[in-house]
Amino acid sequence: MFESIFKRGVLSNSTTTQTPDLTVDVHAHLLPQLDDGPVDIEQSIEIIKEMYQIGYRKIIVTPHVMTGYYNNAYEDILQSLHILRSVLKRRNIAMELEAAAEYYLEDELFRLIERKEVLTFGGNRKYLLFEASFVTKASYILEAALRIKQAGYTPVLAHPERYVNLNDIEAINRLAYNGVLFQINIGSLTGYYSKQAQELAELLINRKLVAFLGSDCHSLTQLESIKQAFKLKIFKEATKLDILNNTLLENKSTVYA
Ligand SMILES: [Fe+2]
C-alpha cells in the first residue's frame, strides 16, 4: 500500500497523518554517507518516505560535524542536500528539506563560527544546533553557549536529557536563563536511550523548557521508537507547549525551497 501511494505520484495532504501537531523536524541524520546515518541514498529516501507518512512535511537535516570523525565541511553538506533534494523531486516526494548540522562542542566549532562556515536554521534567528560529550560539565556547556550567543547565533542544545551533568534542575535553569534553547529527542520519551534521559525529558516538558522536538533519526529502525512516542500522553503535552518546530514551515504548500 505504501509503495502504491508513491507510484501514484506526489503524496497529498490527505494521506495518513499521525502527527498533525508536528510537521517540522529539526534534528535528523538523513544525508547519506556523511555520518552514522544512512549508508546510501536509497536508505535516506526510505526514511524520508516514512517520515512523510507519519506527518512530517519539512526536515532540517543535521549531519554530525566533529573533527576526526565527521569532517563535514558546509560545502559538502550543501552538495549532499542538493543531490538528495533532486532525487526527491524526481520521485515526486513532497518533503521539504533544509540543511544545518549538529556541531560537536570543540575548538574547531569556534573556528568555523569565526570563518562564518556554520550552517544554522530558522532564518534570522540563526539557531545553531550543538552537542557535547555526554559527561561534559554543565559550566562548560554554558560557557560555550555564551560564546555562540556572542557570535550572533542562538544556541540550541541537542538532547539535553542525555547529559549526565544536566540531571539537575539548577543547571538546566542556568542554561535556560542564559538563552540556551533545548531540543529534546522524541525517542527519549519511550526510554529509548535510558531511564534517566526519559525522566529528564519529561521534566523539561513539565517545566515548559522545551523549544524544539527532534527525531535525531539515523535509521528506519530508530523511527519505530519515535512512532511509539507519538502515542504517549507526554508527547501530546509536549506538542501543546510553545515549541518552535512549526514556525519553521514558512509556506505549507512549498514543496522545494
Ligand atoms: Fe544527532
Q: What are phi and psi of 236, to 5 degrees?
A: -60, -40
Is residue 39 within 8 Å of 33, Cβ to Cβ? yes
How far apart are the C-alpha atoms of 194 and 200, rounded to whole Å? 10
Query: 40 Cβ partners below 8 Å, 6+ apart?
Result: 32, 33
How far apart are the C-alpha atoms of 237 and 246, rounded to whole Å? 15
What's the gap in Å between 185 CA and the centre of ligand 1? 9
What's the gap in Å between 77 CA and the centre of ligand 1? 15
C-alpha cell at 174: 542556568
What's the gap in Å between 27 CA and the centre of ligand 1? 6
What's the gap in Å between 256 CA and the centre of ligand 1? 24
251 has pLDDT over 80: no
What's the gap in Å between 1 CA and the centre of ligand 1? 31
Which domains does the chain possess? 19-248 (3.20.20.140)
The distance from CA 252 to its chain's CA centroid, rounded to whole angstroms, is 19
- For the stretch 132-145, pLDDT in tens is 999 999 999 999 99
What's the gap in Å between 134 CA and the centre of ligand 1? 12
What's the gap in Å between 29 CA and the centre of ligand 1? 6
What's the gap in Å between 129 CA and the centre of ligand 1? 9
Higher pLDDT, 149 or 14: 149
C-alpha cell at 3: 509503495
Mean pLDDT of the chain, nearest integer? 90
- For the stretch 5-59, pLDDT in tens is 333 333 434 344 455 589 999 999 999 999 999 999 999 999 999 999 999 999 9
How far apart are the C-alpha atoms of 151 and 114, rounded to whole Å? 8
What's the gap in Å between 186 CA and the centre of ligand 1? 12
The pLDDT of residue 15 is: 42
- For the stretch 173-226, pLDDT in tens is 999 999 999 999 999 999 999 999 999 999 999 999 999 999 999 999 999 999
Give which of 2, 6, 50 is closest to 28, Cα–Cα: 50
What's the gap in Å between 218 CA and the centre of ligand 1? 8
